[in-house]
Amino acid sequence: MGLRKAGGSAQLRLFLGLLLQLLAGEPAGSTNITISESIISVTAGGTGPGPGPGPEPAAKPVARGANHTVPKQVEFGVCTVTCGIGIREVILTNGCPGAESKCIVRVEECRGPSDCGWGRPISESLESVKIPCIYIPPENRFTYIWKMLIPDQQSLILPNDSALLEVHRDTHPVAFQCDTKEHNELIATVKYTVYTTAELETRRLRKPNTDVLLMFVLVAGVIVSVGVIFAIIFITLNWASVKSFWQTKVCKREDQSSQGSLRTFEDSPGNPATAEASQSSQLETVQEQASTSYQEWNARGGKETF
């Protein structure tokens, strides 16, 4: 049944090829070549009427949106940021070249919560400090709005519209905020506190104490670790001596415990030797009492009045 269908398709293709060649005015010699190629293409396809199966299509690109679905063979890497805008890897888990089980298809953007809280300056000195906005290259893709935060008042918008702001230290701490926007959409916001020169010096004086404590803990940990390693190496190299030493110590402990138990047994009231000793002491006490009574009787003249 499949061959018949293939033959019918071949005849149809032959007819169409002849018709097109006649209309184009081509010579008949080239017609046979077209016929043979069409027949070969039909028979090579197997039982189906069309050409054989081609290579597997590549994985569809993952589009962001509610109307698109993510193929099961694609997974996403971890985002490089926890807030604002970052990048992540799109990993293919099926259909990688060679024997690889996973391969990176591309890198795309990823976003987290827009509020990034309080940030840290990229550089600071006793006179000024440099603070950045949240963004990814290219820098001119976004718009930046810098604000000076004033307590209990409306924020003051600064004229600077770049991603980096250099601020000179004032006589009192000042808080700044940068909003990163794209097409009037808030992408990220970050805040900074610029301390005074005196406060910065105080913070730097406090910091070495913490550094010294951390260094002490680190050195102590290294020393303890090295000591443990050397102890393990010593025990391994001198295992016979260590084993004999512990056996001698265990034997001494067993002898001391056996001697102590023997003494306890001898001193116990149920021991026969202890019972004989108590009986002899009682007999001696009775004899002493009898001799004392006899001496008193002799002192009274050997007569008693009844």
Question: What percentage of residues in the chain have a pLDDT greater than 90?
Answer: 30
Tell whether the model's pLDDT for residue 40 goes beyond 50: no
More confident residue, 4 or 211: 211
Which comes out higher in pLDDT, residue 223 or 298?
Answer: 223
Is 295 among the domain residues?
no
* Largest CA-CA distance found in the chain, in angstroms, rounded: 180
Q: Is the pLDDT of residue 1 over 70?
A: no
Count up the domains in the chain and report the number. Answer: 4
- Predicted confidence at residue 100, as pLDDT, reads 81
Assigned domain for 87 exists: yes
Per-residue pLDDT at 49 exceeds 60: no
Cα 26 from chain centre: 73
Sequence-separated (6 or more) residues with CB below 8 Å from residue 43:
6
More confident residue, 112 or 6: 112
The verdict on 158 and 131 lying in the same domain is: yes
What is the pLDDT confidence band of residue 201, given thresholds at 50, 70 and 90? confident
Q: Report whether 184 contacts 160 (CB < 8 A).
A: no
Specify if 213 maps to a domain.
no
Contact 235, 242 (CB under 8 A): yes
pLDDT band at 13 (very low <50, low <70, confident <90, very high): low
Ramachandran angles phi, psi of 25, nearest 5°: 80, 25
DSSP at 196? -
- Encode pLDDT of 92-143 as tens digits: 888 788 888 888 889 999 999 999 999 999 988 888 999 999 999 999 999 9
Domain contains 67: no
The range of the structural domain enclosing residue 101 comes to 74-111
Residues 44 and 84: beta-carbon distance below 8 Å:
no
**Which amino acid would we find at residue 32?**
N
* 133 vs 247, more confident: 133
Res 180: pLDDT: 96
Same domain, 164 and 120: yes
pLDDT over 70 at 5, yes or no: no
H-helix segments, the chain: 2-24, 29-43, 197-237, 239-267, 272-299
pLDDT score recorded for residue 117: 94
Residue 301: its pLDDT value, please? Answer: 61
Assess if residue 54 is contained within a domain. Answer: no
